[in-house]
Structure 1
Amino acid sequence: MSAHVPSLEELRALPQVQQPTYQDPAEAARAIEQLRTLPPLVFAGECDELRDKLAEVAEGRAFLLQGGDCAETFDTVTGDNVKGKLRVLLSMAVVMTYAGQVPVVKVGRIAGQYAKPRSKDTETRNGVTLPSYRGDAVNGLDFTEEARRHDPGRLLKVYNASSATLNLVRAFVKGGFADLRTIHSWNADFVRNSNVENRYEELADEIERALAFMVTCGVSDQTLSEVDFYASHEALLLDYEHAMTRIDSRSQLPYDTSGHMIWIGERTRQLDGAHVELLRHVQNPIGIKLGPTSTPEDALGLADAIDPDRIPGRITFITRMGASNVREKLPPLVKGIEASGRKVAWVCDPMHGNTFETGNGFKTRSYSDVVEELNGFFDVHDELGTWPGGMHIELTGDDVTECLGGAFELGEADLADRYQTACDPRLNRNQSLELAFMVAERLSDGRIKRPNLIDEFRNNDF
């Protein structure tokens, strides 16, 4: 891989979509140059660690849990908000690790997910047309001319908000907050005070006994209280990602230091486009979103462009097919990649293909559709003998009412109570934990091809 990174001018000469339109180019240039002088948000060694872990996912030896807000906002960069998201992700990971008997790689949609692609450039209300809200990285949510102006100064606010979030996350995951016993107590409380099925409570009881056994045996070192946690976001804004790309002093290779893992969205994965051109030059693990119109040729072309050297852990395909399409559309993609000899991580995004609008005007998703797409994802990999490597979820640690269904049977009338998302609807804490138990059940299903780590442990000489 070359240390060359294309200039912004070279990128702007290529096809590009979903980019801000700044009224003052000189103001934008100043913001970008200031970003270039700021320290990296993440480090090359951390990106390499995550890439190694994703190589294990691709080999069927680990499972990826990637989740967080649809679109982060500056107002939600608070200790309680970050703690809530982290708590629900760690709680989900405990259940899946125990049931699946595989390590769970924990990656947040966090500390950088401030920009969103939109299907329309403008929005009209009561005869007034203004630019669409494209995330706090670009403009404001308020429906006013001033708020909706594309403001390059917001790129610096993204950096500062991401830095504060990462500092807090690092303190939490290494400072005792991630202690397995505490995390499991939240899961136990959930299953005992909700309408989930009895078998989920039985699994929670099993985990509780296992943890008690470990403590009784004297296992109380940092493995019980510290975890590795990584940050990811969609690499949507080319100016920001280019400014945060640095040459690593050890390897002399470029890394996008805005996040450990970055991904190309369904709307920006044009093979001849600027997004693919920039990301093929950075060393980070790269996610690629694939929707129902994707072909095996699309997937192979992107993999060859971004990872010509077939570096383990480099490519993660995140499929977003929709519950009604996954069983038909996913198999050709998996077969095409498998036939090429590539080893990639296959991850299911069961959120973006299942969005609809209710009769009372709320953009929402049904928990049952999310479960159906995940079950379809597992079924396809079961039939093909491949590894269902992970899931990519939009969620929050708060008790919002944005998605229908789940153990508490949220209905359309409930959406008005706590509908708080700045963009797409998220699973709340209870729906997220319920989903973790459902996925844990699938991971423990004997039909899924998975490594027997217990046998490996027995066969090793210690």
Structure 2
Amino acid sequence: MTLSSLTPRAEPLVPAPPAWSPGSWRTRPAAQQPDYPDAEALQRVEDTLALQPPLVLPDEIVGLRDALAGVAAGRGFLLQAGDCAERFTSCTEDGIRSKLRVILQVAILLTYGSGLPVVKVGRIAGQFGKPRSSPTEVTDGVELPVFRGDIVNAPEFTAEARRPDADRMLRAYHHSSAALNVLRALTLGGYADLGQAHDWNQEFVRRSTAGRRYEKAADDVGWALRFMSACGLDIPAQAALQQVQLYTSHEALLPRYEQALTRYDERRRTYFDTSAHMLWIGDRTRRPDGAHVELLSGIGNPVGVKVGPTTTPDDLRELCERLDPAREPGRLVLITRLGAGKAGELLPPLLRAVRSAGHTPVWACDPMHGNTFVSGSGYKTRRLSDITAEVAEFFGAHREVGTHPGGIHLELTGDDVTECLGGDLDEIVEGQLETRYETACDPRLNAVQSIELAFRTAEFLRIQHSG
């Protein structure tokens, strides 16, 4: 069973670089890697993973590349969204349904407000690792390895919990498989039916200003469906209205895990990383001669790159050449994370540099990571106003240069958490952060804030396409 009904290309994709192999990354410097204490156990885990079935299939991966090629050409918009760092304990039906619910709400508002098809990619079913700014942390004079996500170690501040454990990669694989099974059931089994749009709105969201605006949009969608039915269209027979195409993605942080799940597709004469449909390289691991870029340069998946404020036009041209030498639309997603107040200045030179080099990537805005700070009460947080401001600057830069603002990359949850500050009439203030601060790493938008941002982004999109 696949995540969507696909009609992918059968012709071969561009082959891997001549000197590339799934293990060639091992000769390159690899940043952000755990220090595993047991080399034999690590090798056993890698060997075991290499024998497991793929989590996603090449046809699905190529289907996403085709969809992203349409986005790169200005015929769509990418929504990439989900948890900052998934927990094994969140891979339950209720947990996955909650994430899917808010992704569907944001997607329908983007489509409703802009008239563009939305390609939906979840940070889900594999986003178990996180890069960190320091390899250790100190509490009460005790220094221990930092928590790097459930795929590496545990968050409890003890020496045993923080010790990197290779077996956790096997647990990550099995939790990803279970999450994918639930996603397939939900996306193909009627939960994503547009006629159920009202049911996606949770009670705590419905009471908010953004939730009431969403209810009005859902009413309009319902009327449109009834109108089409009255005109003779057989709505139940339209699969596109009853199901949803949802792809998976995660940061390719652990090359050992990704190599173990890389498979050769005879029909297309291409290697695919079957751990997810799309992989991305973080701002801390995007060194052109590094292990992460080397590994992803040879796979056929769509590849994302986080582009931070220290990235120069020359840096980005070099990365694009390494990862997309054939300049194939749908291959590359450049995810800018520049910060509010900086994006308007830093982004235009990057847009011009990539365009002049002949690449046609999907440009997406990550307005979360460049706007993180520690509150006076000690909580890592973000302001919704800063997030919205960076999205506005992203659209403004594309208008200035004449390129397509292709997507948005969000850390969000469907739960009623208090991790990011702000909102319209339902504002979260600093004193409320401790109320329901539940993230495993970085602060996420809650469902109400996500819906509010979706309305604003749809407005930016509509302005962009109205000329």
TM-score, normalised to structure 1, is 0.93
The separation in 2 between residues aligned to 1:315 and 1:12, in whole angstroms, is: 23
Contact 2:22–2:298 (CA<8 Å) still a contact in 1? no
Shift of 1:141: 0.4
Shift of 1:347: 0.2
The separation in 2 between residues aligned to 1:6 and 1:376, in whole angstroms, is: 40
Q: Does 1:426 align with 2:440?
A: no
SS of residue matched to 1:246:
strand
Q: CA offsets, 1:429-458, max 9 Å, x none?
A: 11111111111112222x4368xxxxxxxx
Shift of 1:265: 0.5
The separation in 2 between residues aligned to 1:293 and 1:69, in whole angstroms, is: 25
The separation in 2 between residues aligned to 1:307 and 1:436, in whole angstroms, is: 30
Partner of 2:293: 276
Residue type of the alignment partner of 1:417: T
Q: CA offsets, 1:153-198, max 9 Å, x none?
A: 0000010000000111011100000000212454597886322498
Which runs of 5 or more residues in structure 1 are unaligned? Answer: 451-462
Q: Does 1:169 align with 2:186?
A: no
The separation in 2 between residues aligned to 1:377 and 1:195, in whole angstroms, is: 26
Shift of 1:200: 6.5
Q: 1:432 to 1:250 in 2, by over 3 A?
A: same
Contact 2:201–2:211 (CA<8 Å) still a contact in 1? no
The separation in 1 between residues aligned to 2:78 and 2:84, in whole angstroms, is: 18
Q: Does 1:401 align with 2:418?
A: yes
SS of residue matched to 1:255:
strand
Q: 1:331 to 1:2 in 2, by over 3 A?
A: same
Partner of 2:21: 6
The separation in 1 between residues aligned to 2:452 and 2:22, in whole angstroms, is: 46
SS of residue matched to 1:114:
coil
Q: Does 1:228 align with 2:242?
A: no
Match of 1:39 among 53, 72, 80: 53
SS of residue matched to 2:134:
coil
Shift of 1:319: 0.2
SS of residue matched to 2:81:
strand
Contact 1:269–1:288 (CA<8 Å) still a contact in 2? yes
Contact 1:71–1:114 (CA<8 Å) still a contact in 2? yes
Q: Does 1:219 align with 2:231?
A: no
Residue type of the alignment partner of 2:178: A
Match of 2:115 among 80, 98, 101: 101
Q: Does 1:415 align with 2:415?
A: no
Match of 2:153 among 139, 142, 146: 139
How many percent identity over aligned positions? 52
Q: 1:273 to 1:136 in 2, by over 3 A?
A: same
Give matches, 1:257-296, under 5 Å: 257-296=274-313
Q: 1:150 to 1:249 in 2, by over 3 A?
A: same
TM-score, normalised to structure 2, is 0.92
Q: 1:363 to 1:191 in 2, by over 3 A?
A: closer
Which runs of 5 or more residues in structure 2 are unaligned? Answer: 1-13
Q: CA offsets, 1:355-396, max 9 Å, x none?
A: 001111100000111100001111111222211100000001
Q: Does 1:329 align with 2:346?
A: yes
Q: Does 1:194 align with 2:208?
A: yes
Q: Does 1:21 align with 2:35?
A: yes
SS of residue matched to 1:165:
helix
Give matches, 1:75-114, under 5 Å: 75-114=89-128
The separation in 1 between residues aligned to 2:235 and 2:211, in whole angstroms, is: 31
Q: CA offsets, 1:4-58, max 9 Å, x none?
A: 75354x4232111001111110110000000000000001110000000000110
Residue type of the alignment partner of 1:220: P
Partner of 1:457: none
The separation in 2 between residues aligned to 1:287 and 1:237, in whole angstroms, is: 15
Residue type of the alignment partner of 1:429: A
Moved over 6 A (4+): 188-191, 197-201
Q: How many residues align?
A: 448
SS of residue matched to 1:90:
helix
Shift of 1:61: 0.2
Q: Does 1:348 align with 2:365?
A: yes
Residue type of the alignment partner of 1:211: L
The separation in 2 between residues aligned to 1:75 and 1:199, in whole angstroms, is: 33
Q: CA offsets, 1:218-250, max 9 Å, x none?
A: 423222111111000000101000101110132
The separation in 1 between residues aligned to 2:213 and 2:399, in whole angstroms, is: 23
SS of residue matched to 1:183:
helix
Contact 1:58–1:344 (CA<8 Å) still a contact in 2? yes
